Amino acid sequence: MMEPIVQYKDIHKSFGDTHVLKGINLDIRPSEKIAIIGPSGSGKTTIIRLLMTLEEPTDGDIIVDGTNLWKMEAGGDGKMKKANEKHLSKVRNEIGMVFQHFNLFPHKTILDNCVTPLVQVRKMSKKDAVELSRQMLDRVGLNDKYEAYPSHLSGGQKQRVAMARALVMKPKIMLFDEVTSALDPELVGEVLEVIRDLADNEDMAMVLVTHEMDFALEVADRVLFLDGGVIAESGTADEVINTSDNPRLQDFLRRFR
């Protein structure tokens, strides 16, 4: 089996007195598609925010491509010290994220929403950035919207821009945090369709927090059921969603199917 691209090692996360994650161990392998399901408040978003370095673990290690996110070698002596911003941003470059709320730049065109990070963060030439951004906007079906502003788009279109903006960075792993839950029901399909296409045709690993069980069954190689701060069930989508006899999981699934 291929080496994991991400490893969570006994990760704990508390917010004040609330112990949200109680020892998460998780390997994500290159090109693996993982769905995380579980009740509201079980810590699904926290798991992926930790990987995006938007939260710092209370305890445990997260290793991305062999590099510890929050600790780095102090010197030649093998000792570790707290990571600095430069160290974090290097690791962050490998990870793309799409949020429930699109987080687009409202005053920039769709094209510039994609071009700006490439030029500013990746130091790409404007010309190359425009070319790559157009390719990715075409990929998500927005080839006629380059010059539109976010406020003129539907929620589904905005979410597709958010995906293009993450894709131009060529991440090794893409995180999707309930990307359809803020959308009107009739717009959910077009967004799932793009994710399905990416899952089928792209090599990158994908982690999806989702309440769309049929979608998880279709695209995920592995499904994790998060409950009570731990991964309570883990297996193929069919094992977890269709055949598990875990009563907490069955109760959860009844509410979402």
- Least distance in Å: CB of 80 to ligand ADP? 26
Point out which span in 37-45, 104-112, 143-151, 163-171 binds ligand ADP (CB under 6 A).
Answer: 37-45
Contact residue for ligand ADP among 45, 53, 159, 244 (CB under 6 A): 45
Contact residue for ligand ADP among 5, 11, 20, 34 (CB under 6 A): 20
- Please identify, using beta-carbon distances, which residue of 46 and 244 lies nearer to ligand ADP: 46
| The residue type at 100 | Q
How far apart, in Å, are the Cα atoms of 87 and each of 105, 132, 133, 210? 26, 26, 27, 30
By CB under 6 A, is residue 229 in contact with ligand ADP?
no
Contact residue for ligand ADP among 5, 28, 34, 46 (CB under 6 A): 46
By CB under 6 A, is residue 41 in contact with ligand ADP?
yes
- Please identify, using beta-carbon distances, which residue of 12 and 29 lies nearer to ligand ADP: 12
The DSSP symbol for 242 reads I
Point out which span in 40-48, 86-94, 162-170, 243-251 binds ligand ADP (CB under 6 A).
Answer: 40-48
What distance in Å separates the CA atoms of residue 135 and residue 112, rounded to the nearest whole number? 13
- Please identify, using beta-carbon distances, which residue of 113 and 159 lies nearer to ligand ADP: 159
- Least distance in Å: CB of 29 to ligand ADP? 23
What distance in Å separates the CA atoms of residue 204 and residue 227, rounded to the nearest whole number? 27
Contact residue for ligand ADP among 3, 10, 18, 90 (CB under 6 A): 18
Q: How many other CB atoms are found less than 10 A from the CB of residue 239?
A: 13
The DSSP symbol for 19 reads E
As a dihedral over the C-alpha atoms of residue 56, residue 191, residue 210, residue 135, rounded to 10 degrees, the angle is: -40
Residues 6+ apart with CB under 8 A from 234: 222, 223, 224, 225, 240
- Least distance in Å: CB of 42 to ligand ADP? 4
Contact residue for ligand ADP among 33, 44, 92, 222 (CB under 6 A): 44
Helix axes 126-139, 110-120, angle to 10 degrees: 130
By CB under 6 A, is residue 40 in contact with ligand ADP?
yes
Token pair belonging to 108:
């920039």
**Residues within the interface to ligand ADP (CB under 6 A):** 15, 18, 20, 38, 40-46
